[in-house]
Amino acid sequence: MSGTDWMSTRSEFAQPPVDLRTDIPHSARVYDYLMGGKTNYAPDRAAGDASARAWPSLPTSMKQARHFMHRSVRHLVREHGMRQFLDIGTGIPTPPNLHEVAQEIAPDARVVYVDNDPIVLTHARHLMTSTAEGRTEYIDADIRDLDSILGADELGNTLDLKQPVTLSLISIVHFVMDEDDPQGLVRRLMAELAPGSALAITVFTGDTAPQEVAGVGREYNERGIPLQIRSKADAERFFDGLELIDPGVTLLHHWRPDHTTEGVRDEEVAMYGGVALKRG
């Protein structure tokens, strides 16, 4: 049996029915809708439409976050030899997923995905399509409960924390409020990783379109989806004690741009991104 077949037949992903609460909007499904996906319901579409009315460039900004993930993974695999990834806040699977990007270059790459959204759990089998040489795993956990992530068998059985690991936090920390100390959560996670590990993160900001992005925040919060908007200084704090990779913390389309960033204007992007390494 191939690695793909083995992973796709694992019994723990024959999940019992999950209450997806399709009567209320869900951040993962709103994102899916605005990205052109089909895993969403009427309340999600209503929330997405209202948010896009507040800021018509929201879908563009979301797509740039996805492209940033692809570029950062390719760079870390090619230029820094990264073969292990811990991706928290995975969201609804959307090809190419992180493991597909990494394994296209390095078939032996290993990825552990983490999310606590019921909708993502129901689609987790799509994240388990590893190459035979590599491996993928999924942990149902919340970023605020680090013990449940760091103590999970799926993590210890898939990644070797004595070797470098990339912590990937794409489009997730804006759902962690300041009172939950997101920078502290990231510091603790990075403290568990070996020297040579990396952090790749995106941070939602209102710096480029203050009124419009504030409108997005208002639409999300009024619909029961807490959303935190942060400044560049807030974004840079996530990298305290780490060595930033050039060009540092930038708007996403300025981080090692390629064909996916052509024609994108600053006022269309409300995300800072950066990649940094943990030294000795």
pLDDT at 17: 61
**pLDDT tens digits for 76-100?**
999 999 999 999 999 999 999 999 9
Is the pLDDT higher at 119 or at 133?
133
pLDDT at 124: 84
Q: Are 124 and 12 in contact (CB under 8 A)?
A: no
Task: Say whether pLDDT at 11 is over 50.
Answer: no
C-alpha distance from residue 43 to each of 47, 99, 153, 269 (Å) = 6, 31, 36, 25
Percent of the chain with pLDDT over 90: 86
Closest alpha carbon to 13 in 155, 125, 118, 158: 125
pLDDT at 15: 52
What does the domain layout of the chain look like in residue ranges?
Answer: 3-8+21-277
At the topology level, CATH places domain 3-8+21-277 in Rossmann fold (3.40.50)
Task: Say whether pLDDT at 137 is over 90.
Answer: yes
